[in-house]
Amino acid sequence: MSETFPSKAAEHARPTMIDVARRAGVGLGTVSRVVNGGHGVRDETAQRVRAAIDELGFQRNEVARALRPGKKSTSLALVLGDLTNPFYASIAKASLEVAGQSGYAVVLGSVDEDPEGEKRAIQELVSRQVAGLMIVPDQGDHAFLEGAGVPVVFVDRPATGIDADIVMVDNEGGGRIAAEHLLAQGHQRIAILLAPSYYTIGRRLRGFRRAHRAAGVDVDESLVVQLPEGTAEAAEKATREVMLRADAPTAIFASTNFLAEGVLRALGVLRSLGELSQEPAVVGFDDFRLADMLPTPVTVVASDIAELGRSAARLLLDRASGTDTRPPQRIVLPCALIERGSGERPPGSAGNRTAG
């Protein structure tokens, strides 16, 4: 006992349980017991320990705690693309809330655009011993997750190469609803803009086609526009091109929120140039802020994105705790149409292109 106080542990080192134990004049185990609920400790002793904890400002080291085998860490990982997309931001926020309520933190892996980036990020996260992974998967194969020993929940779209829980929206139904809505108003030539072929987009297209078939209307394949990128810019360009055709569509279905923005941007430009021969109806997929405040409020097929995040987190938490041992689940959230105006324009709405 050369030193009463551990000299080095003065300012920059956080106190440990041993410090607390010494301070309270008890053993290490007792401190641990008090910290973890205090069962089986005499009240008086517990008081002393708690006092020492307070005085020292002790805080349990979660990292060391998680090192014990069996004891899973209390953090989940969330892997997604662009937080700047309100769609992903909603998922992040919602899952964060649910996780937080159960005392879990959420680690966000940095995800580059490249396909390998996601894999690297995921492995990074796994090496951090997270208790589970929520992944909005990119297109690559995710078989490498099979033996990861960590529960995985995919969000928004399934991944190939692995059978895991998946929480998503009814993309096909949404695509169908959008097309049905337009067809019901007499539109026969409906363009559909597709972001690079993610799973979701394929399903939306399928619903789109199905509605056409049910209505006995043929889909003009030249109006099924596959974009090189899922950006507003790409959609803007494509819209300009398609609307300048002699046989321009009377309606446009934009398969994502960003694409809808691009469509509207293009229409605005054409309109201002007096080159819009007719005003097409527009329906977007996924709601977005200010959609109702644009010159023509935008009709969209929407779903409860926050619920997507919440469900994913809840499911993952149950898997991580071992509470839920069912086979992989498949949760599908419904879509609904929100009519605002842009999607209710009848075919042949007057444009402003000067004759000739």
Partner DNA sequence: CTGTTAGCGCATTCAG
Partner DNA sequence: CTGAATGCGCTAACAG
Query: Which positions lie near a copy of itself, rule CB under 8 A?
Result: 3-14, 57, 59-64, 66-67, 73, 75, 82-84, 86, 89-90, 92-93, 96-97, 99-101, 103, 105-112, 121, 123-129, 143-149, 261, 264-265, 268, 288-290, 293-295
CA distance 168 to 312: 9
**From the list a copy of itself, DNA, none, which binds 125 (C-beta under 5 to 8 Å, kind-based)?**
a copy of itself
- H/E stretch holding 190 reads strand 190-194
CB of 123 to DNA, least distance (A): 13
47 touches DNA (CB under 7 A): no
Among 4, 8, 10, 36, binds DNA (CB under 7 A): 36
Distances, alpha carbon 321 to alpha carbons 74, 151, 311, 335, in Å: 10, 10, 15, 31
Residue 332 has φ and ψ, to the nearest 5°, of: -120, 120
356 touches DNA (CB under 7 A): no
CA distance 211 to 219: 10
17 touches DNA (CB under 7 A): yes
Question: Nearer Cβ to a copy of itself, position 183 or 312?
Answer: 312
Q: Which of residues 63-92 bind DNA (CB under 7 A)?
A: 64-65, 67-71
| Coarse DSSP helix, strand, coil percentages of the chain, rounded to the nearest 5 percent | 45, 15, 40
User: What phi-psi label fits residue 26: left (phi over 0), alpha (psi between -120 and 50 degrees) or beta?
Assistant: beta
**From the list DNA, a copy of itself, none, which binds 216 (C-beta under 5 to 8 Å, kind-based)?**
none
CA 273 to chain CA mean position, Å: 38
CB of 138 to DNA, least distance (A): 27
CA distance 83 to 288: 14
CB of 137 to DNA, least distance (A): 26
25 touches DNA (CB under 7 A): yes
Give the range of 30-38, 110-118, 207-215, 290-298 binding DNA by CB under 7 A: 30-38
Write the binding mask 231 to 250 for DNA: x where contact by CB under 7 A, - elsewhere: --------------------
For residue 28, the number of C-alpha atoms closer than 13 Å in the C-beta half-sphere is 5
DSSP 82-97: -TTSHHHHHHHHHHHH
18 touches DNA (CB under 7 A): yes
**From the list DNA, a copy of itself, none, which binds 44 (C-beta under 5 to 8 Å, kind-based)?**
DNA
How big is the chain, counted in residues? Answer: 356
Order of strands, sheet of 224-226, starting from the edge strand that comes earlier in the sequence: 224-226, 190-194, 251-254, 281-285, 299-302, 336-338
**From the list DNA, a copy of itself, none, which binds 28 (C-beta under 5 to 8 Å, kind-based)?**
DNA
Among 5, 54, 55, 61, binds DNA (CB under 7 A): 61
Give the range of 24-32, 193-201, 210-218, 219-227 binding DNA by CB under 7 A: 24-32
- Residue 75, classed as helix, strand or coil, is strand
User: Which residues make up the interface to DNA (CB under 7 A)?
Assistant: 13, 16-18, 25-30, 32-33, 35-36, 40-46, 58, 60-61, 64-65, 67-71
